Structure 1
Amino acid sequence: MVRKDFEIEDDIEVLDMDEQGDDEASTASDTVSPDEFFAKHAFRVVYQTNNFLLPQLRDLVSKGEVLNLRPEYQRRLRWSNIQKSRLIESLLLNIPIPPVFLYENDGARYEVMDGQQRLNAIKEFQEGEFYLTGLEVLSPLNGLRYSKAPPRIKRALDRASVSAIVLLLESDSERSPDNKFSITDVRRFVFDRLNTGGTKLNAQEIRNAIYPGEFNKLVVDLARGHVFTEIFGIPPYTESEPSDYYENPNRQKNTLYASMGDCQLVLRYFALRDEENIRGSMKAMLDRAMASRVQITEEVAGELGEEFNQVLNAAVEIFGPKPFLLPADDKGRRRISSALYDASMVAVYRQIDHLPELLAHNKNIKKRLAREFASGDKDGVLTGQGNTAKTVKERISLLEKIIKEGAGLI
């Protein structure tokens, strides 16, 4: 749960920015015929359909050499044992279940686009990680583990199959030379259309699903950092095995972790540190920040990680162990503000060359910030009430001014 000494304000999916100066508008006009536009811009999704027997799926998932579930990079809310059990019941009864969707990546491996929970449930039951519970039709099987299942039941599961639709890399070659869509765009379009039923994934979960790579890994790794989790009240990562991170029940109860709001906070820094990217909606800023770094190398990702941690540690040294807190409200509560986090982090980044001066005068900087809050913040710049891209720039500039004045740099 969140820390008791402050509350996380509910703006993590973030400011409702206007669309001024946003992504390039469509160049299609009324003078272009639908047929001509389709001929120049359409693409064909190339896919194949496979049926996998459950033992085959178990081997593919367990070995991880061909099929990668990447659980940490998608939804963090796991199915309950009842949900898993009912899937197994459906397979035993030969009730059709929805197909899983995979996509082929550059490494000749397949990533799960949709169906992660189903595949996990099948693997976990066959490996004895839970027993059946909550069954309605096959209620006498409640309490049964796979290892104790009678031969008839095991044979029934071995004969059961799951259909898989695989989006192939050839989709990239099927694009018209005139269109601007990449294979990542194709995946995003397909994923967005799959993501219409059930529990809809939020924007950050979708980004983590469609933008694999070193930067994606970096964002998740930075969200695990001790300083970061301490600031935002996320249970620390003390597990010895990374695969155990995903199972931590206390962390799953944390709102930021469960919604991938922690990863979004990390991404916000990289989206706003580049001033030319501060345009349009916050969602568009975050999407661009992710898409533009999808091809970076492990070395570059390492450099970005060192930068982020340097800035975050500097913010703690300047503003104290609980930076980004708004002043107490009428009830004495203090909320941690993502808007203040954004501005403070980017302002510190811009002045990182003057870090010795900032640390030497951190008390003056905190006093200067307190005076700004005491003045009433009538325009809502510091508190995040302003909700335009222009206000985001103003907020960052104001924090930078506060830091420089407090440190005697101006």
Structure 2
Amino acid sequence: MSLIDEVNEKRKEIRTDGYAMSISEWASLYENKEVDIHPEFQRFYRWGDTQKTNLIESILLGIPIPPVFVSQREDGIWDVVDGLQRLSTLYQFMGILKDENGNNIEPLTLAATKYLPSLEGKKWNNPDDEENSLNQELRLIIKRSKISVSIILKESDDTAKYDLFQRLNTGGSNLSPQEVRNCILVMINKEFYTWLQSLASYEPFQSCISLSDRPLSEAYDIELALRFLIFALVDEASLNNMGDVGVFVTDAMADIAQDKTFDKDVWEGLFKSTFDLINNEMSDKAFKRYSVEKSKFTGGFLLSQYEVIAYGVAFNIHNKNNVANIREKAEMLWSDNRYTDWSGSGVTATRRLPKLIPLGRGVFESGN
């Protein structure tokens, strides 16, 4: 198939529409539950009050706001694919934003800006504090301002909105790769996302990975739990053809979340049994660098160590004899060229995983 044929074929799979809408219309859609901004996403977005105030300032000054991307569901409701923070800020300022439990969120109070210092302390409309409320003229300026919408119509390919969400929320976004995946998971299968969260919260798992506050705030523990589901029992042949690991993890996640045959009970049992064993022997030393000279584990979490030990133990856990002496085997890795040659910072995950996953399986196989 030629390039033009490929373009024409794929263009048929994505049906779109678009037009400008007033902020008053956006508010009406939200209040009537005709647009879903997925309040669960709020925990992943980290706009501060300064960024929120800057958005309101831009609207008051007539500065164009980027379009909002939505996907039209079968029931006609719009799923927000890109623009959640913009809409949430407007709804919070107008006093109509609710959290995922349906409770009202504290309305936004604006701060002073470079061009509009008098915004300091201003609210949308507080009858008990008219001095610090926007007057009707300013409220109407905001309500009549327009934000364009680009709509992926329901006739489009099912994966289109997830692909678009990932493209629009990666790179320039302040979301981590897993936070983007979490948002996609909520759209695909919220129940699966909640279950994955519960796995990541399992105390022996948290003890073993022993992450600092920043990676935890960026959902790295959830990514590690997800990687376990993908790689613990992966077919080794797939490892040599996976390409970019980040894309592979996202695609595999979407496949698992939509797989009706995926047995969560079996996988939860494997996950908990694996980290129970590792935690009992090593606790927070499990995935750290081992200094042969000092005979101790030091430093922070190492993904390569996780890939060998966690996946290796899980693959062999059916035979308890295979997964004995976990600490001793973890120490020996740092004298093994098969590990040290492929676990350095200069080795990409695409090259590393096809080497380290089979190594881990071998290390925890009986007789090794």
Please classify the TM superposition score into its range, dividing by the shorter chain length: 0.7 to 0.9
Task: Determine the structure 2 residue equivalent to 1:134.
Answer: 112
Task: Determine the structure 2 residue equivalent to 1:248.
Answer: none
Task: Determine the structure 2 residue equivalent to 1:78.
Answer: 46
Equivalent positions of 1:7-406 (< 5 A) are: 28=1, 32=2, 34-49=3-18, 51-54=20-23, 56-58=25-27, 60-61=29-30, 65-70=33-38, 72-73=40-41, 76-106=44-74, 108-127=76-95, 128-146=106-124, 147=126, 148=129, 149-152=133-136, 153-172=138-157, 183-184=158-159, 186-191=160-165, 194=168, 198-199=172-173, 203-210=177-184, 212-214=187-189, 215-233=192-210, 254-273=213-232, 274-275=234-235, 276-279=237-240, 280-281=242-243, 282-297=245-260, 300-301=263-264, 303-328=266-291, 333-355=298-320, 357=321, 361=324, 364-374=325-335, 379-381=340-342, 386-387=347-348, 391-405=352-366
Q: What is the CA deviation profile of residues 140-185 of structure 1, one whole-angstrom value per residue up to 9, with x for unaligned ones?
A: 121122334144244443434433222111123xxxxxxxxxx31x
Query: In 1, are the aligned partners of 2:170 and 2:180 still within 8 Å (CA)?
Result: no
Q: What is the CA deviation profile of residues 91-132 of structure 1, one whole-angstrom value per residue up to 9, with x for unaligned ones?
A: 233432111111124565432211111112112222243311
Q: What's the offset of the Cα at 1:302?
A: 5.3
In structure 2, the CA distance between the partners of 1:291 and 1:165, relative to structure 1 (3 Å rule), is same
Q: What's the offset of the Cα at 1:265?
A: 1.8
In structure 2, the CA distance between the partners of 1:164 and 1:229, relative to structure 1 (3 Å rule), is farther
User: Which amino acid in structure 2 is aligned with residue 319 of structure 1?
Assistant: M
How big is the alpha-carbon RMSD for the aligned residues of Structure 1 and Structure 2? 3.7
Of structures 1 and 2, the one with the larger relative CO (CA 8 A, separation 6+) is: 1
Query: In 1, are the aligned partners of 2:275 and 2:310 still within 8 Å (CA)?
Result: yes
Distance 2:259 2:110 in 1: 44
Query: In 2, are the aligned partners of 1:81 and 1:133 still within 8 Å (CA)?
Result: yes
* Structure 2 counterpart SS, 1:293: helix
* Structure 2 counterpart SS, 1:354: coil
Q: What's the offset of the Cα at 1:393?
A: 3.8
Q: What's the offset of the Cα at 1:35?
A: 4.9
Query: In 2, are the aligned partners of 1:271 and 1:278 still within 8 Å (CA)?
Result: no
* Structure 1 counterpart SS, 2:81: strand
Out of 284-293 and 301-310, give the one that drifted further. 301-310
Identity of aligned residues (%): 22
In the superposition, the TM-score normalised over structure 1's length comes to: 0.69
Distance 1:35 1:320 in 2: 56
Q: What's the offset of the Cα at 1:341?
A: 0.9
Distance 1:198 1:352 in 2: 41
Query: In 1, are the aligned partners of 2:81 and 2:165 still within 8 Å (CA)?
Result: yes
Q: What's the offset of the Cα at 1:308?
A: 2.7
Q: What's the offset of the Cα at 1:230?
A: 4.0
Query: In 1, are the aligned partners of 2:208 and 2:278 still within 8 Å (CA)?
Result: no
* Structure 1 counterpart SS, 2:44: coil
In structure 2, the CA distance between the partners of 1:103 and 1:227, relative to structure 1 (3 Å rule), is farther
User: Which amino acid in structure 2 is aligned with residue 121 of structure 1?
Assistant: T
Q: Which runs of 4+ in 1 moved over 6 A?
A: 329-332
Q: What is the CA deviation profile of residues 16-45 of structure 1, one whole-angstrom value per residue up to 9, with x for unaligned ones?
A: xxxxxxxxxxxx4xxx4x555555554253
Q: What's the offset of the Cα at 1:376?
A: 6.3
Q: What's the offset of the Cα at 1:225?
A: 3.8
Distance 1:199 1:188 in 2: 16
* Structure 2 counterpart SS, 1:320: helix
User: Which amino acid in structure 1 is aligned with residue 113 of structure 2?
Assistant: L
User: Which amino acid in structure 1 is aligned with residue 48 of structure 2?
Assistant: S
Query: In 2, are the aligned partners of 1:272 and 1:278 still within 8 Å (CA)?
Result: no
Distance 1:309 1:108 in 2: 41
* Structure 2 counterpart SS, 1:102: strand
Q: What's the offset of the Cα at 1:304?
A: 3.5
In the superposition, the TM-score normalised over structure 2's length comes to: 0.76
